[in-house]
Amino acid sequence: MERRDLLKATALGAAAAAAPALATAQTVITPNVPAPGHWPAPETIDEGGMKYRILGTTGQRVSILGLGGFHLAKPGPNGPTTEEAIRIVRTGIDNGINFCDCAWDYNGGESEIRLGKALRDGYRRQAFLMTKIDGRTAASAMAQLETSLRRLQTDHLDLLQFHEIIRWDDPDRVFAEGGALEAVLKAQEQGKLKYIGFTGHKSPAIHRKMFQVAAQHQFHFDTVQMPVNVMDAHFDSFQQMIFPIAQAQKTAVLAMKTFGDTFIYQAHVAPPIELLHYGMSQPVAVVITGCDKMPILQQALVAARTYQPMSAADQQALLARSAAIGSTGKTEKYKVSHHFDSTMQHPGFLTQS
């Protein structure tokens, strides 16, 4: 049997074996049985105000909804002020969100700076904090990590991810002698981070290569971040290629690009809460969404509170509505252009210390 076929055949069994026992005092939402070609969402712990899932093999409990870091310092006249960004983060945490996303390169570092300010006054203890680095060499990776820790005003990260794995040689550079992984493993030994993952949005084949190169080095990723939305299934699909691999390897999936910035939302195939519910109904641990205004945060909180797994029939109907435009790739500019590629626009980020 080909490895690809074996991964597909064992994916559901692997995911089931990885699922930890949950306290009986909590309400557990049981996923629906998927139609062929679909995968069930993980078991979800419902605590009323927020829902949670277990992050892969880490045993960590994370909110089904994650706060995206880019939007905390989104540029332009409609972007939030520092005070608004702090309010968004703290209101989210007060309402049960514990997963905070960010990256070393977001808005010249301002996103990390604002998130660090928001996590003062005891909020850091309530957060599962993740950021990402661009460095592909050991020196640049360590320098960027140290910068992120200073900006975030913390002595450790819960999760560090290799950012923008979007080039065919990115996996080789990360795992090369003197590559970024060497520094990240050293930092992990020093207690500066707990878990390691990677993220990218360009091609599922590059994600697959990252898993393959990791396997050659006998390395297991705790997380993988990737686009998960109603358009992806129709065009160079991460969901079709990477879900089986992640489930077989018990790597937690972090969903992003629910709205494709605004391009997917503007296609008007479904309202925002339905788009979020679709993402939450996939085999993901967290759906990360950017919130640059309080009404956007409140909308996301409503989606989390009202989430129930979408039936296979409802998912199929939604995908049918998105098929015509989704098959063109026009709403997924992160796949077909450099619109979202900070390391293509700033290649120096890959080696900057």
Q: Which CATH superfamily is domain 34-350 in?
A: NADP-dependent oxidoreductase domain (3.20.20.100)
Average confidence (pLDDT) per 10 residues, the chain, 353 residues: 35 34 38 54 92 98 98 93 98 98 97 98 98 98 98 98 97 98 98 98 97 98 97 94 96 95 88 97 97 97 96 94 92 88 92 90
Q: Where are the domains of the chain?
A: 34-350
DSSP sequence for 268-324: -SS-HHHHHHHHHTSS-SEEEEE-SSHHHHHHHHHHHHH--PPPHHHHHHHHHHHHH
pLDDT at position 262, please?
A: 84
pLDDT at position 26, please?
A: 46
133 SS3 class = strand
